[in-house]
Each structure stands twice: as C-alpha cells, then as structure tokens.
Amino acid sequence: MLLMQILQLLVETAAGFLTFLLLARVAMQWARISFRNPFGQFIIQLTDWIVLPARRVLPALGRLDLPTLLAAWLIQLAEFLLLLLVRGALPESGLGMAIAAAALFALFKLAHLAIWLLIVAVIVAAVMSWVSPFHPAARLLTAFMQPLLAPIQRVLPRPGNIDLSPLVLIVLLQIVQLVLGSLEMSLQRALL
C-alpha cells in the first residue's frame, strides 16, 4: 500500500511538472515572449524531447502551439493510464472505456493546470511589480498577463490608484476552476 502511494506520488509529480513546463512553453509562445532567458532555456531543454517529434505530426495554428499542447495532453493521458495500472482499477466497462475516460480526464487536468499556471503568473507578476518592477522577469510576466488584465482594467475603477485587476482575474479563474471541477465530477459519475 505504501509503495503504491509513493509510486503514485512520483508519477503525479513528474507528469504535473512536465505538463506545467509544456503549458508555460505554450503560453510564452502565444504571448510572443522570447525564450532567450534562463527560464525559457530551461523549458526548451526539458521539453524538446517530446515537442520536436510532435511538431512533425501536427503543425502550429497561428500563435497557438498545438504540438506542445498535444504533448502536454499525452503526458496527462499517460499519467492517468499508468495510475490505473498501478491501482489495478480497470473499470468494469473494459479497457476501451478506460482509455476514452482517461483521454477526457486528461483534458480536464490540462485545463486545471493551465488555470493554475495563470494564477501563479498573476500572483508573481503582481508581487514583482511591487518589489522589483524593472527586473527582466517582471517585464516578461507583465507582457504575458496584460492581454488578460486589460479588459478588466478598462471596466474596473482604480481606487487610490491601486490596480485590483489581478485580484479580479484570480477570482474569475477560480470560478472557472469550480465550474470545470463540477463538470468533471458529473462526467466521472456518469462514466465510471
């Protein structure tokens, strides 16, 4: 039992970390943020092994890096299937249904991780704007978050010249997380 929990922790941690890096790569490319910085190089070096083969199969769609999204989804799919094997929890409906359910839930996990990436980016950008607004990383995060914050900033007043748009964006992202979680639970009860 303990060995299974340790194995599950290792699989979830490795898959989550790699998926988070892949989603960061997608976000940086979408926001046209240069990879010529230590963080960008870190992401490239740890994800090229799966992104480059995916690019041979699937082209990008404008600014959206579909091959990297595909790679992130495949990592999540592999995580779900591996955890099913570790737990020995094959549904009564069979292997085909297990693979289909894992594919669907991998999409949900990908969406959850993408939202967490945005929440972390908002928090770090806000803190850096207070602590070190001229740091190169602060400029990168501001460039990344500005398209999401701008619509909120247009309608939200600035009491005392304080920008509350990051807080509003975090609340909105958490609402999306709740809706996704509820939908996921409903599908889980229906499928499994």
Token digits for 77? 């799919």
**pLDDT at position 30, please?**
87
**192: pLDDT strictly greater than 70:** no
Is residue 144 very low, low, confident or very high in pLDDT (cuts 50, 70, 90)? confident
| Letter string b/e over residues 148-158, b meaning 16 or more CB atoms within 10 A of that residue's CB | bbeebbeeeee
Q: How far apart are CA 186 and CA 50, in angstroms?
A: 32
**pLDDT at position 158, please?**
84
Give the predicted TM-score (pTM) of the model: 0.85
| Among the ranges given (101-115, 129-143, 158-172), the one the predictor scored with the smallest mean pLDDT | 129-143
What is the residue-averaged pLDDT of the chain? Answer: 89
**pLDDT at position 176, please?**
97
Reported as type and span, the H/E element at residue 158 is none
pLDDT tens digit sequence for 42-55: 999 999 999 999 99
Q: Which of 123, 112, 52 is nearest to 79 (CA)?
A: 112
Q: How far apart are CA 183 and CA 180, in angstroms?
A: 5
Is residue 89 very low, low, confident or very high in pLDDT (cuts 50, 70, 90)? low
**162: pLDDT strictly greater than 80:** yes
**188: pLDDT strictly greater than 70:** yes
3-state secondary structure of 151: helix
Find out whether 141 and 169 touch, Cβ atoms under 8 Å. no
